[in-house]
Amino acid sequence: MRPAAGARTMARMLSPNTHTEEVPVLVVGGGPAGLAAAAELARHEIPVLLVERRVVLSSHPRATVLSLRSMELMRAWGLEAAVRSRGLEVDSRMLDAETLADAASGSLLWVGYPNREQSRALSPVDVACVAQDEVEPLLLAHLRAQRSARVSLGTELTRVWVGVDGVRATLRDLRTGSLRSVHARYLVVADGARSAVRGALGIGLVGPEGVMAGVTTLFRAPLWDVVGAHRHLIYSVSQPDAAGVFLPAGQGDRWLYGSAAVDASRAHDGHTADLIRLGAGVPDLPVRIEGARAFSAAAQLAECFRCGPVFLAGDAAHRVTPRGGTGLNLALHDGHDIGWKLAWAVRGWAGDELLDSYEAERRPVAEYAVARSADPRGSYREPNRELPVDLGGRIPHVWVGERSTLDLLGTGYTLFAGREVDAPSLDAAAPVTIRRLPPIAARAIGAVGDAALLVRPDGRPAGLVPTPDGSGERALRAVLG
């Protein structure tokens, strides 16, 4: 793919005398997509540099739920317990009532997430009610603990050039003003909805702007005392003067209130606190406002997710409204997907065909989420409709002793078999780890009879491998091409 015109123009501004640092993968953006991509690269022991222009990550949560698949990724990165310890035990449905004080007479609505019983039948994890500003620091700390990863906060990418040998970028330290040059084989662009790098590459967005607007207010108030036993992922209130949504956003009675009636510039003058009291149905409710953020949400897709060695992820690739709560989860899934695929490319286990599959596999999911977020009724979905989108075609979860079949996946291929299979000796492909399963577990994931199931690191099947005599090497070579 040829470099975008914007990239060539910026290249003329580079100094030819600047010392250039080499790194296999450069990630721009320290939000969920960038952190996930870097975490997955580090899991594969691929050197990665992540740069983020903010010195401190945001303390205003933009999302408050991690889907089933997102929690499976947290488990794979060793972060499930840490995330769960910061979460809240709630019902995964929305409660709709005139005010929070009317919770006992409210209506329950599915918003696409399974309940605990449904989750346990499908996964080793549950959906988590946890604020985004609790998740991002955990990912950042995890990344900093990896030997193959480096993180540079307070650093922005100011110039970029895309060539046949990768990407050359100029980075500026916002605290000192010093510049440095980096050459990366691949660049992951995860710098948000108004991505400067996407603009520099000349990649446009397709779809409507300003689909939804409002203000989210972060505050503390004893609302759990108000709703009592009716603990839910989200509350919709229809009080005429304060219609909006309340979302639990952390422990210690930390909440978000989203409404078009709020004026962000008046967050601390008592106006917003009065609206919260109206929505809560408690006139004397003690409210402490911590901040407010106006938003204007779009339903858009980037024209392409790939430009040669450059890959867009998260909000840089697609913009969604808050309906359905898909933005954070989409970003994490994007980052994981491009992370393992770039790792395979760097190791020489795969080439352009696998890298092309990033857009081929992620774009339909993003298109679905964008359309859902633009639908005025997009929040209201049964779990059985949304779970296939979230889980992405990965193999079924089956307990094998105290481990899930998902826990048995490695960084290369995994060959699941219900019988003894000889270890293959392949030179060109990614390494293959053989996992012998009990017959019932093997059947449950599709490894029936003499057939073994070859699975990618993301849990998606790569093909069935006949092993009639216990040796699957010839058939495996055929599956791998």
- CATH 3.30.9.10 in the chain, residues? 91-129+212-289
Share of the chain above pLDDT 70, in %: 92
List the one residue out of 305, 345, 297, 349 whose CA is nearest residue 324: 297
- What would the pLDDT profile of 383-402 be if each residue is shown by its tens digit? 999 999 999 999 999 999 99
What are the CA-CA distances from residue 339 to residues 26, 62, 354, 415 (Å)?
A: 11, 23, 12, 21
Coil, helix or strand at residue 423: coil
DSSP string for residues in 232-277: EEEEEE--TTS-EEEEE-STTTEEEEEETT--GGGTTSSHHHHHHH
Query: pLDDT-based confidence at 4, cuts 50/70/90?
Result: very low
Helix axes 32-43, 132-144, angle to 10 degrees: 30
Q: How sure is the predictor about 14, in pLDDT bands with cuts at 50, 70 and 90?
A: very low
Fold of domain 91-129+212-289: D-Amino Acid Oxidase; Chain A, domain 2 (3.30.9)
What pLDDT does 420 receive?
81
Higher-confidence position of 27 and 481:
27
Which one is the CATH code of 399-480: 3.30.420, 3.40.50, 3.40.30, 3.30.70?
A: 3.40.30
Strand blocks (E) in 303-354: 306-307, 310-312, 318-319
What's the pLDDT at 106? 97
The overall longest dimension of the chain from CA atoms, in Å, is 77
pLDDT tier for residue 62 given thresholds of 50, 70 and 90: confident
| Band (428; pLDDT cuts 50, 70, 90) | low
pLDDT of residue 403: 97
> 286-325: string of b/e by CB count within 10 Å (b at 16+)?
ebebeebbeeebbbbbbebbbbbbbbbbbbbbbbbbbbbb
User: Residue 310 corresponds to which tokens in the numbers above?
Assistant: 């450059």
pLDDT score of 7: 44
- DSSP secondary structure string for all residues of 219-234: EE--HHHHHTT--EEE
Handedness of CA 307, 325, 53, 196 (dihedral sign): positive
Q: Where along the chain do the CATH 3.50.50.60 domains lie?
A: 5-61+131-209+299-391
Q: Which residues pair with 399 in a beta bridge?
A: 404
- Residue 470: the pLDDT is 56
Q: What is the pLDDT of residue 388?
A: 97
Query: Taking the CB of residue 448, how many other CB atoms lie within 10 A of it?
Result: 14
Q: Which token pair is 11?
A: 């290249």
Q: What is the mean pLDDT of residues 85-109?
A: 97
pLDDT number for residue 5? 40
Whole-Å CA distances, 255 to 61, 243, 264, 348 = 10, 16, 16, 47
Mean pLDDT of the chain: 92
Strand, coil or helix: what is 74? helix
**Residue 216: which residues within 8 A CB-CB, separation 6 or more?**
60, 62, 256, 257, 258, 292, 293, 295
The predicted-structure confidence for 110-160, as pLDDT tens digits, reads as follows: 999 999 999 999 999 999 999 999 999 999 999 999 999 999 999 999 999
H runs (alpha helix) in 375-460: 383-391, 439-445
Domain with CATH 3.40.30 in the chain: 399-480
CB burial string 162-175: b at 16+ within 10 A, e below: beeebbbbbbbeee
Integer Cα distance of 409 and 213 in angstroms: 42
More confident position, 294 or 281: 281
Mean pLDDT to the nearest integer, 434-450? 93
Q: Is the pLDDT of residue 2 over 50?
A: no
The Cα–Cα gap between 169 and 464 comes to: 43
d(CA 270, CA 446): 60
Q: Which of 48-62, 262-276, 358-372, 446-460 has the highest mean pLDDT?
A: 358-372
pLDDT in tens, 154-179: 999 999 999 999 999 999 999 999 99
pLDDT at 121: 95
pLDDT score, position 9: 36
Given pLDDT bands bounded at 50, 70 and 90, which one contains residue 454?
very high
Write the DSSP symbol of residue 460: -
Structure tokens at 54: 């903010």
Q: How many CB atoms lie within 10 A of CB 55?
A: 10
Which H/E stretch holds residue 411?
A: none
Residue range 5-61+131-209+299-391 forms a domain whose CATH class is alpha beta
- Determine the Cα–Cα distance for residues 345 and 97; give it in Å rounded to an integer: 52
